[in-house]
């Protein structure tokens, strides 16, 4: 192994003129050199050892006779000798050298040596020997290397820890036993709005603990400093923290204790819970809204069932009242019958509104009279408004053209607006007022472009800061339990789907809220007149035979009387099976059948007639109080049969039957 030597020249000042010293004290010098801990040798110009002390012999594992007089190559090995030659040339030239490095003597393993090499000459003569002093510092160098490695490892670990701390998403705040900040990472800077320079040395309680919690915090720090067990050490706890701007926010904190040089330090890892709590609150609101929606769906189904059960008796009341009205010659009795009929018609509108609200069907666009829709909604909510002390005013423009919309969806929008107005007025002192206005929306040339509707109240109105948010889903200004935050958002979506818009107007003279809805005209744009007088029953010029099929005898008898008043011949069947038997035995020009009946229902009767009497199946009129079922709607759409919803007026029934009879004549 060729030694790796680092030579340092000492110049010529190191030349030893020691011949006289050796001559004067040879035994003293011999003893001294043999007992020093350093290796000492002398090599002559002939490259043979003249002297080697005990330390050198022990290090080489040789005896004196194996060294003294022996050649350098023989003692040190060929590799070391080759490294020695250029050094010897410099030394015999009178230059002193110092070097250190790793070398391997005679294959005994690598050792780290420090050596001083001096030329030796008698006075006035040339250098004739080289004196070498050396020592083995391998263990020292190994310890230095180990220490350097540990320092490097420690520096790397500290660098890694610093990188982790500096890039941690959690805010890390360390304090000493006195509660003063000693570390404040970038996440903490961002979370609390305080720079690290500003935070270091400050009491942590003053820096990030809200004022109302500082006394408890200081007491906890004093308790831990006194050696008491901390209450929250190592546990995840949620608490309020303080930002530099004075605002408070929720955090989740884990606290742990470390000792540095026997001194206790406390580090808190904190996460901002503001977003998580906001998300949890939003999920809770949506969950409540979903529960409310499910409750409303269940309530809608219940209302639909109740409304359906009311349809049959309501149809009987309405029909009998209309017949009684047409038969009365006494004006006073006729007036009483008229009032009964009008009340029954109002009940019928309420029932139809219930059904319209509860229907789960595809959007069906048709011409709609806004004023009729308003009157129906008012009939439905009139009792609630009156008992809440709300005065309702209607200012409906007459002769408005029809708009294009789904009547059920448009009714839902108006009901939402009226219910919102009623709830907004609940805490207001009297008088409490709600006004509904309608009018035509004019185009540039003065023609009608649409119809508008306004619902205004004299309640507290909508604060300016919230006006842009009231149509957002799940946003509500109502107290807990009084709203889902869906009504206005859904209402605007329904109106926009119809081609119009729903907006919150600027605060009016009443100081309350005013919502304005507008909708486009239907395709024909024609105004539809509203009939208010009793409808006279027309008679058909051709006496025809009609079969009425209904499992409720009273309703079947009523329809029979209505049709017979129009000079029609009518037979009654109390079930679908009886109807089939009658049709097989006698001639009938049209069939009026209930859609829902036990055993053989309306669709079953139609299918049987289509096989046996296909012409008669095409002249069927169905009456029903339930158009909610998708299967029923699909059946009516597929067959093209006429349908009449209960309750109905005599004229409506007669019109459907006459249309069926007309198709037979045609």
pLDDT given for residue 10 in this prediction:
53
For the stretch 493-502, contacts whose Cβ atoms lie closer than 8 Å and that sit 24 or more positions apart, written own/partner, are: 494/406, 494/409, 494/410, 494/412, 494/413, 495/410, 495/413, 495/519, 497/363, 497/409, 498/365, 498/403, 498/404, 498/405, 498/406, 498/409, 498/410, 499/404, 500/403, 500/405, 500/450, 502/413, 502/471
Question: pLDDT-derived band of residue 522, with 50, 70 and 90 as boundaries?
Answer: low
| % of the chain exceeding 90 in pLDDT | 11
| pLDDT at residue 509 is higher than 80 | no
| pLDDT at residue 15 is higher than 50 | no
pLDDT given for residue 243 in this prediction:
92
- In total, the chain counts a number of residues equal to 666
**626 or 171, which is more confident?**
171
| pLDDT at residue 662 is higher than 90 | no
Q: 627 near 355, Cβ under 8 Å?
A: yes
Q: 438 near 453, Cβ under 8 Å?
A: yes
pLDDT given for residue 265 in this prediction:
84
- Structure-token pair, residue 43: 């090599």
- By three-state DSSP, how is residue 59 classified? helix
Distance from C-alpha of 379 to C-alpha of 241, rounded to nearest angstrom? 55
As a three-state string, the secondary structure of 267-296 is EEEEEECHHHHHHHHHHHHHHHHHHHHHHH
Cis (ω within 30 of 0) for the bond into 647? yes
Average pLDDT estimate for 523-549? 54
Average pLDDT estimate for 179-206? 90
Question: pLDDT-derived band of residue 386, with 50, 70 and 90 as boundaries?
Answer: confident
Cβ atoms within 10 Å of 487's Cβ, excluding its own? 20
Question: pLDDT-derived band of residue 549, with 50, 70 and 90 as boundaries?
Answer: very high
- By three-state DSSP, how is residue 557 classified? helix
**346 or 21, which is more confident?**
346
The strands making up 237-242's β-sheet, listed across from edge to edge, are 181-184, 171-176, 263-272, 248-260, 237-242
pLDDT given for residue 65 in this prediction:
92
Question: pLDDT-derived band of residue 592, with 50, 70 and 90 as boundaries?
Answer: very high
pLDDT given for residue 240 in this prediction:
92
| pLDDT at residue 460 is higher than 50 | yes
**Most confident option among 150-154, 200-204, 532-536, 638-642:** 200-204
**501 or 383, which is more confident?**
501
Q: What is the DSSP annotation of 188-218? A: HHHHHT--HHHHTTSBHHHHHS-GGGHHHHH
pLDDT given for residue 538 in this prediction:
44
Average pLDDT estimate for 562-583? 88
**434 or 473, which is more confident?**
434
Apex 500 CA angle, 497 and 505, nearest 5: 125
- Structure-token pair, residue 657: 């039957």
Range with the poorest average pLDDT among 196-210, 465-479, 535-549: 535-549
Q: 200 near 184, Cβ under 8 Å?
A: yes
Task: DSSP letter for 539, please.
Answer: -
pLDDT given for residue 23 in this prediction:
45
CA atoms within 13 A on the CB side of 404: 12
Distance from C-alpha of 590 to C-alpha of 659, rounded to nearest angstrom? 10
**Most confident option among 57-71, 303-317, 530-544, 622-636:** 57-71
Sign of CA dihedral 48, 54, 57, 63: positive
Close Cβ partners of 38 (under 8 Å, ≥ 6 residues apart): 55, 133, 134, 135
| pLDDT at residue 359 is higher than 80 | no
Question: pLDDT-derived band of residue 43, with 50, 70 and 90 as boundaries?
Answer: very high
Distance from C-alpha of 164 to C-alpha of 125, rounded to nearest angstrom? 70
State the residue for tokens 């004075």. Answer: 246
pLDDT given for residue 20 in this prediction:
39
Range with the poorest average pLDDT among 156-160, 393-397, 522-526, 529-533: 529-533
Question: pLDDT-derived band of residue 30, with 50, 70 and 90 as boundaries?
Answer: confident
pLDDT given for residue 531 in this prediction:
36
Question: pLDDT-derived band of residue 530, with 50, 70 and 90 as boundaries?
Answer: very low
| pLDDT at residue 5 is higher than 70 | no
The CA-atom distances, in angstroms, between 317 and each of 82, 141, 340 are 132, 115, 8
| pLDDT at residue 231 is higher than 80 | no
pLDDT given for residue 26 in this prediction:
67
The residues with which 644 forms a beta bridge, in sequence order, are 623
Give tens-digit pLDDT for 250-282: 999 888 888 877 788 888 888 889 888 888 888
Indicate the average pLDDT of the chain: 79
Q: Measured in whole angstroms, how far is the alpha carbon of residue 218 from the centre of its chain? A: 38
**22 or 189, which is more confident?**
189
Residue 499: which region, alpha, beta or left (left: phi > 0; alpha: psi -120 to 50)?
A: left
Average pLDDT estimate for 292-313? 66
**623 or 646, which is more confident?**
623
């Amino acid at each position: 192994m060729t030694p790796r030597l680092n030579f340092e020249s000492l110049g010529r000042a190191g030349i030893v003129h020691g011949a006289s010293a050796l001559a004067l004290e040879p035994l003293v010098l011999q003893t001294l050199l043999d007992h020093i801990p350093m290796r000492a040798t002398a090599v002559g110009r002939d490259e043979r050892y003249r002297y080697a002390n005990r330390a050198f012999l022990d290090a080489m594992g040789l005896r004196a006779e194996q060294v003294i007089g022996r050649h350098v190559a023989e003692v040190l090995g060929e590799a070391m000798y080759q490294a020695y030659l250029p050094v010897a040339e410099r030394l015999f030239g009178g230059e002193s050298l110092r070097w250190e490095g790793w070398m391997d003597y005679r294959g005994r393993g690598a050792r780290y040596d420090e050596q001083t090499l001096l030329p030796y000459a008698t006075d006035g003569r040339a250098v004739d020997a080289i004196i070498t002093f050396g020592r083995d510092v391998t263990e020292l160098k190994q310890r230095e290397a180990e220490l350097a490695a540990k320092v490097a490892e420690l520096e790397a670990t500290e660098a890694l820890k610093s990188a982790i701390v500096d890039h941690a998403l959690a805010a890390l705040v360390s304090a000493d036993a006195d509660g003063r900040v000693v570390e404040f990472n970038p996440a903490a800077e961002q979370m609390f709005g305080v720079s690290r320079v500003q935070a270091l040395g400050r009491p942590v309680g003053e820096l990030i603990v809200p004022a109302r919690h500082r006394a408890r915090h200081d007491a906890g720090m004093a308790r831990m400093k006194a050696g008491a067990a901390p209450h929250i050490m190592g546990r995840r706890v949620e608490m309020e923290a303080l930002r530099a701007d004075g605002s408070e926010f929720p955090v989740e904190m884990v606290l742990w204790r470390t000792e540095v040089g026997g001194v206790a330090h406390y580090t808190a890892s904190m996460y901002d819970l503001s977003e998580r709590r906001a998300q949890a609150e939003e999920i809770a609101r949506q969950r409540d809204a979903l529960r409310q929606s499910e409750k409303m769906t269940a309530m809608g189904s219940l209302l639909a069932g109740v409304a359906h059960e009311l349809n049959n008796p309501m149809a009987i009341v309405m029909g009998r009242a209309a017949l009684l009205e047409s038969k009365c010659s006494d004006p006073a009795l006729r007036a009483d019958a008229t009032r009964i009929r009008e009340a029954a018609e109002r009940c019928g509108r309420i029932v139809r509104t219930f059904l319209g609200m509860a229907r789960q069907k595809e959007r069906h666009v048709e011409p709609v009279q806004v004023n009729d829709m308003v009157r129906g909604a008012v009939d439905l909510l009139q009792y609630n408004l009156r008992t809440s002390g709300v005065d309702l005013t209607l200012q409906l423009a007459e002769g408005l053209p029809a708009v294009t919309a789904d009547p059920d969806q448009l009714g839902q929008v108006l009901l939402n607006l009226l219910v919102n107005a009623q709830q907004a007025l609940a805490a207001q002192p009297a008088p409490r007022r709600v006004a509904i206005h309608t009018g035509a929306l004019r185009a540039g040339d003065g023609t009608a472009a649409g119809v508008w509707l306004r619902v205004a109240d004299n309640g507290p109105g909508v604060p300016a800061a919230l006006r842009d948010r009231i149509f957002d889903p799940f946003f509500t200004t109502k107290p807990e339990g009084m709203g889902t935050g869906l009504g206005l958002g859904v209402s605007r979506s329904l109106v926009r789907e119809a081609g119009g818009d729903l907006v919150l107007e600027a605060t009016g003279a009443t100081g309350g809220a005013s919502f304005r809805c507008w909708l486009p005209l239907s395709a024909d744009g024609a105004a539809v007149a509203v009939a208010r007088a009793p409808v006279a029953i027309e008679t058909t010029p051709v006496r025809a035979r009609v079969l009425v099929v209904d499992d409720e005898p009273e309703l079947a008898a009523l329809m029979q009387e209505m049709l017979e008043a129009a000079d029609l011949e009518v037979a009654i069947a109390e079930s679908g099976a009886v109807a089939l038997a009658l049709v097989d035995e006698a001639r009938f020009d049209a069939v009026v059948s209930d859609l829902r009946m036990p055993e053989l229902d309306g669709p079953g009767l139609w299918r049987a007639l289509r096989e046996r009497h296909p012409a008669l199946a095409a002249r069927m009129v169905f009456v029903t109080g339930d158009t909610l079922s998708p299967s029923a709607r699909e059946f009516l759409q597929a067959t093209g049969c006429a349908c009449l919803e209960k309750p109905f007026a005599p004229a409506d029934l007669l019109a459907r039957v006459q249309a069926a009879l007309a198709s037979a004549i045609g």
